[in-house]
Each structure stands twice: as C-alpha cells, then as structure tokens.
C-alpha cells in the first residue's frame, strides 16, 4: 500500500494512538531504505498542542544518535495522518521475549539480564547527558522506561525507543500545569506526584525492569490504577525483594538502590548504575550470549509477513476499546491537582475544590467509570454543576467533611515517626557518650547520665 513517498510492507505493532509499519522509501537510481513508520491516528494530532508534542518527539529523536537508541529520520504528514520515520530494528521488543519465558515458566539467563541492563544504561546515560546544538544540556528524561520500549535485534543489539513523552528543557510544547505522565507500573514516586523529574526517575523505572527480567512479573501488581500508584508512592517492594533474593540475589543491591523512595538515595546517574552492573557481570564470565539467546527465542516468535497490514489505513487506525486493567494502560496523564485529590497527600491546606459533597451520587463523582488509554482526571465536581431534581427544594451549598487519611498513609506516617524517634535516640546516646570525655561541669553531668543509662540497660543486655 502506498503512503505518501513510502510503501507499507507489513504491520509491526499497534497501540492506542498509532500503528507501526515496516515501510520502504525508494529514490532515484535504485535507492531504497527500509524504516519503521509510526503512523498516528488523526485524533492523536487533532489540536495544536498535540501536534507540538509530536514535534517534540521528532526533534528529540533527531538529536538522539547512539547505538543503544532507536533513531528518528523524518516527521511528515499524508492527508490527516502524521507519521514519524524511525530506524528499523530487525527484532522484537523485550516484553515479547519475556512473554516466551513466562509461557515456558523458565528464567531469563543471568548473563542475558546483565547484558540487557548494561546496554539500557549506556543508552540512557547518553540521552541524559545530551546537549543541544548550542552546547547546553537538554536534561532529557525518558519518563516511560519499560520492557515494551526496549528493542532487541536478531544480532543481540539493545536499543531504547519511544521518547514520545520524554521531557527536555528545549520542548516546544510544555503543559502549563504540572502533569503526571507515564506507564503506571513503571512510574517513580515523584512522577506520580507530578514533581520535577531528573535522570533518577528513569533509574527507578529501570529497577522495575530489573524485577521483571528476574521474576517475569511486574514489581507493583494490581488491576486498578489507583492501588498501583499508591504502591509506587509508598514503594511497597517487600514481595519483589523476596522474589529477587530467591532467583538472583547478587543483583538485589542494585535493585534496592534503584527503588529508593527519595531520588537522592538512588544512583546519581545511569553511568554509576552501569559500573555496578559491569562489576557484577565480570563474576558471570560464562553463559549464553545475548545474541544467541535472541536467536533461540526467535524460533517461537512471529515475524510479520510482507502484505500483512491488518486493518490498514484508514479504518485500521480507529481507537481501540477502553481498557479494563492497568496492563492495558500504555500512557496515563494525571494533572497535579487530581493526583493530590486522589491520594490525599499532605501537600498543604485542603481547598474546597478537593472536598467531595456529602450528597453527591456515585454517578456524579470525578472518577471515570472506565479508563481510556490516556485518562484525564482534571475535571472537578465544581466544573460539573449538579442539576436540582424537579419539584425539589432549592439546592443548598454542599457540605464537606474532613477526609480521613487512608490506612496506607497512616502506616507510612507511623513508620516515619518511629524512624525519627530512633534516630533522635541514637543521637542523644552518642552525645552523652562523647560528653563523658569533656572537662569540667559538662563532663561530670555527662558521666552521671552515662552511668545511669548503663545501669538501666545493663540488666537487659546481661551486663
């Protein structure tokens, strides 16, 4: 099928807003080049803001030239359809290879896990440190690191792709309000809250990739978006830690450092994480190579055949049915005020716009009944005035009630309080001990307090 200056050969994959085709572009004197052509549904580029966002994706892709990143060649338009021509990788996304292991119930070889992670870190380090034509750092953050956005070629090459929601300081399209965008299962806590992101947010997501490579299942399990995002906020990884400890204990310290709640406690950058992975890999100097592993998997993976375009243009780009589980949500977009309302986080005084009317019926709440592939929870109750019932008394101003913090938040607050008390206790004991070496009145008081302390805890310690 002809599509502008391209000929569509086969359908490679499809998502909520786009389809990717193997395509070829021909030129004079027998020139031809095969590419992966990402064709967007017209509804994904219906507004000027969406077109500007697509332009950002193409501009960033054009700047990214690295052996571990899928490059972008062209942004164009054919009729109502915008497209991006990208480097064609002869292979499969990482999640397709993991599906084979899930079906066989066999673990991924450890050497393969380390080789994949090292290559991803190499690509991310390049992207995070990328500078623009003027030499100024772009401070680029991928924001959607997951197995589905990692391509593996037949030769064992690893390439990060889909910087479609990447954030850089040079973006032409910047939302006026803070938003949370990304895949729920691989978001960082600060990403969920719509805070400023840096490269360490991608490293948190890469910790989730580590767990899926080792355990063949998501780090934060669940079928609903809100419980999953709550688990991300509180970094509930006890079960994930146990699974990695049982399957690949040597990689557990790297996983735990990636999954720290505070960005300051994670790796400072992808290069530091790669150094630890390379040091671990040197301990596993034997095993199946990455290229051989992909070739073995290839025998069970489907290969698109030329001429198989599925439901091609234009009807084939219709929007899919609404997803029913969190795994079906490729990307979500949550405005910051909606995040605060959903999670009842202590971010400041609550305003009336966050309160829920007591007499509001379930059908009139903010939460949508079904979640589309890009959900927008910015609508508030105040933006949707309720119509009074016929023959009813004049409507009164809705009353509000104080929102009781959920159980998970109270547990987190108690843990934080106990942690502070323990730290203060150790600090106090240390100060008393050091004071015993001081001369004068302070030394005498400290010595007296130390003797009393030893006399009190001595029996418990068998002294």
**What pLDDT score does 317 carry?**
46
Same domain flag for 62 and 137: no
How big is the chain, counted in residues?
463
Same domain flag for 52 and 125: no
Instruction: Concatenate the DSSP letters of all residues of 207-267 into one string.
Output: HHHHHHHHHSS-SS--SSHHHHHHHHHTT--HHHHHHHHHH-GGGHHHHHHHT-SSGGGS-
> Does 102 fall in a domain?
yes
Residue 19 lies in domain: 1-88
Q: Are 191 and 259 in contact (CB under 8 A)?
A: no
Task: Record the pTM.
Answer: 0.66
> Does 418 fall in a domain?
yes
> Does 398 fall in a domain?
no
Q: Is the peptide bond before 314 cis (omega within 30 degrees of 0)?
A: yes
Same domain flag for 110 and 74: no
**What pLDDT score does 204 carry?**
96
Same domain flag for 56 and 111: no
Same domain flag for 125 and 3: no
Q: Which of 65, 88, 111 is the last residue of a domain?
A: 88
Classify burial at 32, counting beta carbons within 10 Å of its beta carbon; exposed 0-12, middle 13-18, buried 19 or more.
exposed
Task: Name the nearest CA neighbour of 370 among 320, 442, 417, 407.
Answer: 320
> Does 386 fall in a domain?
no
**What pLDDT score does 343 carry?**
42
**What pLDDT score does 312 carry?**
57
Q: Which of 88, 111, 136 is the last residue of a domain?
A: 88
Same domain flag for 151 and 289: yes
Number of domains in the chain: 3
Same domain flag for 16 and 125: no
> Does 383 fall in a domain?
no
> Does 163 fall in a domain?
yes
Task: Give the domain CATH number at 56.
Answer: 3.30.200.20
Rounded Cα distance between 189 and 231, Å, is 9
Same domain flag for 81 and 101: no
Q: What is the mean pLDDT of each run of 10 residues along the chain (463 residues)?
A: 89 81 85 89 79 77 89 87 90 93 94 96 95 87 91 94 58 38 80 89 96 94 82 93 96 97 96 96 84 88 72 49 42 45 37 38 40 38 44 47 52 74 86 85 85 77 61
> Does 49 fall in a domain?
yes
Same domain flag for 73 and 105: no
Of 73, 144, 162, 330, the active-site residue reads 144
Q: Is 238 a catalytic residue?
A: no
> Does 304 fall in a domain?
no
**What pLDDT score does 272 carry?**
97
What 3-state class would DSSP assign to 25? strand
Same domain flag for 222 and 208: yes
Task: Give the domain CATH number at 337.
Answer: 1.10.510.10
Same domain flag for 68 and 108: no
Q: Which of 88, 106, 135 is the last residue of a domain?
A: 88
Same domain flag for 130 and 64: no
């Amino acid at each position: 099928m002809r599509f502008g200056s391209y000929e569509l050969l086969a359908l490679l994959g499809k998502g909520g807003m786009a389809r990717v085709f193997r395509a070829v572009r021909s030129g004079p004197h027998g020139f031809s080049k095969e590419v992966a052509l990402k064709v967007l549904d017209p509804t994904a580029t219906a507004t000027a803001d969406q077109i500007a966002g697509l332009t950002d994706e193409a501009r960033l892709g054009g700047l990214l030239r690295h052996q571990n990143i899928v490059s972008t060649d062209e942004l164009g338009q054919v009729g109502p359809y915008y497209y991006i021509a990208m480097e064609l990788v002869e292979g499969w996304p990482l999640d397709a290879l993991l599906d084979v292991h899930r079906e066989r119930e066999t673990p991924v070889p450890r050497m393969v896990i380390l080789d994949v992670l090292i290559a991803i870190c190499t690509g991310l380090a390049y992207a995070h440190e990328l500078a623009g034509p003027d030499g100024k750092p772009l401070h680029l953050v991928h924001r959607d690191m997951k197995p589905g956005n990692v391509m593996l070629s037949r030769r064992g090459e690893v390439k990060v792709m889909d910087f479609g929601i990447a954030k850089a300081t040079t973006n032409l399209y910047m939302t006026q309000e803070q938003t949370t965008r990304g895949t729920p299962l691989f978001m960082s806590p600060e990403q969920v809250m719509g805070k400023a992101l840096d490269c360490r947010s991608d490293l948190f997501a890469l910790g989730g990739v580590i767990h899926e490579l080792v355990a063949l299942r998501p780090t934060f399990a669940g079928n609903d978006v809100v419980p999953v995002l709550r688990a991300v906020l509180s970094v509930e990884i006890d079960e994930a830690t146990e699974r990695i400890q049982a399957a690949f204990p040597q990689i557990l310290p790297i996983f735990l450092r990636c999954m720290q709640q505070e960005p300051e406690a994670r790796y400072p950058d992808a290069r530091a994480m790669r150094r630890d992975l390379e040091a671990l890999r040197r301990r596993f100097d034997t095993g199946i190579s990455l290229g051989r592993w992909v070739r073995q998997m290839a025998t069970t993976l489907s290969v698109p055949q030329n001429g198989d375009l599925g439901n091609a243009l234009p009807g084939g780009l219709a929007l899919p049915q609404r997803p029913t589980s969190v795994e079906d949500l490729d990307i979500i977009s949550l405005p910051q005020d909606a995040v605060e309302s959903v999670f009842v986080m202590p971010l400041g005084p609550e305003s009336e716009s966050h309160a829920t009317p007591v007499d509001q019926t379930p059908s009139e709440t903010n939460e949508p009944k079904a979640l589309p592939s890009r959900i927008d929870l910015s609508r508030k109750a105040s933006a949707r005035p309720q119509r009074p019932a016929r023959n009813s008394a004049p409507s009164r101003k809705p009353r509000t009630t104080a929102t009781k913090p959920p159980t998970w938040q109270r547990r987190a607050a108690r843990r934080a309080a106990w942690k502070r008390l323990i730290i203060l206790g150790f600090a106090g004991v240390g100060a008393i001990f050091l004071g015993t070496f001081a001369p004068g009145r302070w030394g005498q008081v400290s010595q007296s307090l130390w003797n009393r302390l030893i006399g009190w805890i001595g029996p418990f310690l068998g002294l």
